[in-house]
Each structure stands twice: as C-alpha cells, then as structure tokens.
Amino acid sequence: MAALLAVGALGSLVACGGESGTSGVATATSRDSAGVTLVTDPVPYGLAGASKSAPHLPEWTVADEPALRLGKAEGGGPQAFGRVVDAVRLPDGGVVVADGQAGELRAFDAKGRHLWTAGGKGSGPQEFRALQRLVMLPGDTIAAWDPLALHLVLFTSTGAFAGGFTAHSSTGTMSLAELYGLVDGDRVATSAGISPQAMMSTADGVHRDTEAVVLRSAGASAPDTLISMPGRETEVSHPNGTFQANAVLFGRASHVAAAGERVYVGDDARWEIDALDPGGKLRVRIRMDRAPKAVTDREISAQRKRRIADVKRELGQMPGAAGSRFAKQVVEHIRKATPRHTLPAFADLKVGASGDVWVKESSPDPEGVGRWIVLAPDGSLVAVATAPAGLHVLQVGPDFVLGRTRDDLGVQRVVLYSWAKKDAR
C-alpha cells in the first residue's frame, strides 16, 4: 500500500474555472442553492454541421495513419494477442497492452518494439485470475485490476512490481467488480460486484437492478458506498434448467468514470452527467435536452446479428464451447431477445488523460464512426471528436486516441492515433 500512496493522486479535477483539463467554449451555467454547478446544453446546436446557420464547433479527427499499430495474425511473440481487454499510452508514446487471455501486461515503445512483459495467470501478488483494466497514474506507474480477486497491482513504466492491494469482498469470492478509476490516489472506484449465485436465482424477464458505486482501499473491512444507480438492462431466462442473461438490445445502462477528485456518473436513459466528489456530494451536473432517437427494425436485426457473431467468436476461444448445447442456447436466447426501439441518450463515458470528460454519442451501429463530445471539468465544450469506424476506444487525451480494432480474420490490433484539430469558426 505504501507504493500506492507514493504514486500520489491523479490530476485533480475541479468543478469550475478550468484549473485542470482543457479550457472549453463558453457555456451557459448556473449554480443552485446547494452550490451545485448546473450546465445545460453545452452543445446547443448538436453535433458539428447540424445546422448551416449554427457556428462551427471545434472538431477533432484522427490523422490519416495511426502513429502506432500493434498486433499480428500469424506466429507467436508479444504482438500475438489472445484477447485485448485494455491498453494505456505511456508519456513517451509507447503503449502497454493488457492481454486478458494470458493475464499479461505487454509494453511496446513508440516504434512498436517489445520492451517487457509482466503479470501472468495465477493468484500471486503480481498475477491475475482475470485481468480487466489498466489505469495510468502519475509517476509513469500503471495500475492493473483483477475483478474476480478484487486485486490491484502496480507496475513501473519498466515493468517492475510496485505493490498493490486486495480489497475486501462483500459478495463472496467471485464479485465481478468493474473498475472505474482511482480516486484520491489510494482508493479504487468500482461496482459493488455481483454474486453469481444471486444472478442465477433471478426470475425470467427483463431486469434493471440497482448497482452501487463503491470506493475500496487497502485494509478497509468493507467498501464505502458512493452512490447507487440503475444497472444494465438485462434479460434473464432459464431454458432447460440452465441460466441465460444477456444485455437487452439497445438497452439502458449506467456509466461511471473516475479520476483524481471526481467520479462521473450517468444513466443513459437521459442525457445527464453528474460529477461527484469522493464523499459522494454532487458538484457539477451537465445535461442536454434531446428527444430519444428511434431504432428501425432493420437496425435491430443488424445489432442482433452483431451480438450473435460476437458471442460465437468468444465461445470459439473456449475449449469445447463452440457448437455445444450451451452455445446453441446462448444464440437462441439472443435471437429471441427483447429489443428497445429507441437509442440510449449516450453510449459511453470516459475521463481523458488531461481530466476532460468524454461522452460518446449513441448510434444504431456501435461499430460505425464514433462521435464524442469533449467537455472540460466545468462542463464547458472543448470539442467534438470523431474516431474511425471499428475503433473501440480504450484511452483518450487531448493529443491522442488509443483503441482496439478487429480485422476481417478476427485478429485484434491496438492502434494509436493523433488528433488533427480544426478550431471553431
């Protein structure tokens, strides 16, 4: 734990005034009687080009070619990734990739040359039962998270073990707690976790259970609950005595991202993002008034096919799973899954490397071009950024976007782009 404390806090975010992150375009704000900053319609004309009479918004697009591309289709070696679960950019332009299948962190320099490998499968202090997330900390330290063991492991930029801790579980040995980020430098913001036993006893039908966001730290006998929110909209069934649970097509979910002194939360049933301090107090609320966008039957069918293809690909990586009775039941469950007929208000939420807040626009094609609204910590508009089609964004910053792609052969690659910026006119 001493090593974690020595890392220091992530760059502190503030509720107003541009003291951290990128300064934004002037936005109408107000402050209520409780001192909460309220920001309404930071993108008053929608996305860039929505109206010929509207002023052009600051626009960011990626450079023509990536600055770095990792991953290969044939042979072994460090770039033969089994399952890329996350990646972070190092200050010198290099990249650390988390391979969930191997349970390893693999570092590469800015030219793609392999530097080091750390971690591995196991239950030791430097190992992972299930590697899920990476977070870049000050001092060039990388934090890696195991959601099954509630284990946070720290590595230096040279791959040396730098400490960590295992948090208390309140839901049993398999808690499946998702990491949202680090707060105050020594606490991790995660979901409360889900007990598999409780999941399997859930009745058939569509559910959206309450999910808590908690702060965990070394030595604490129990996590501190920050806020409770609606969880992911899930459809449950028990065909032939088995258990099936799948996210509803275009279903609603809550999103959380944390860094420094702020935890950002939003329920995508509406366009509203709240910034909380580590004590759970609301500091900033950002909202936009947008009517739900309808989803066509053709778009629902396309999303259903994408979901089935994803599941088949994942099951294909599990020995004996492809073509099994279980696999057929999973696919049949998706074919019969209940869809939503409107899009969520937004699709994703991240905190950028400089403390800016990134909110992804919803689209009927999640693999299409990704458009992100970039906001300063005070809620003012910084830019509208466009990521390439097929890029699953893992980390963003004012100068770069790092993401995961998959080619026609199913090979995963990690790509790093620079932003090409066009100022507002």
Backbone angles phi, psi at 309, to 5 degrees: -65, -40
- So where are the chain's domains? 2-295+339-420
pLDDT tens digits, 179-218: 999 887 778 899 987 766 677 778 888 889 888 999 988 8
The topology under which CATH files domain 2-295+339-420 is Neuraminidase (2.120.10)
Torsion of CA 336, 342, 345, 350, to 10 degrees: 30
- Burial grade of 388 (CB within 10 A; 0-12, 13-18, 19 or more): middle
HSE value, Cβ hemisphere, 13 Å, CA-based, for 406? 12
* Confidence at residue 143, expressed as pLDDT on a 0 to 100 scale: 94
Instruction: State how far the Cα of 172 lies from the Cα of 31, in Å rounded to an integer.
Output: 42
* Confidence at residue 4, expressed as pLDDT on a 0 to 100 scale: 34
- Give residues with Cβ within 8 angstroms of 75, minimum separation 6: none
User: Which segments of the chain have a pLDDT < 70?
Assistant: 1-28, 44-56, 169-175, 195-197, 317-323, 424-425
Residues pairing with 133 in the sheet? 145
* Confidence at residue 53, expressed as pLDDT on a 0 to 100 scale: 44
CA angle 402, 407, 410 (to 5 degrees): 110
CA angle 259, 263, 267 (to 5 degrees): 130
Residue 381 is classified by DSSP as E
pLDDT tens digits, 406-420: 988 888 999 999 999
* Confidence at residue 137, expressed as pLDDT on a 0 to 100 scale: 86
Buried b (16+ CB within 10 A) or exposed e, 69-93: ebbeeeeeebbebeebbbbbbbeee
Instruction: State how far the Cα of 281 lies from the Cα of 269, in Å rounded to an integer.
Output: 22
At which residue do the structure tokens 């097509």 appear? 249
Structure tokens at 288: 């936009």
Backbone angles phi, psi at 326, to 5 degrees: -60, -45
What's the predicted TM-score (pTM) here? 0.87
* Confidence at residue 173, expressed as pLDDT on a 0 to 100 scale: 47
The DSSP H or E segment spanning 299 is helix 297-316
At which residue do the structure tokens 């899920």 appear? 132
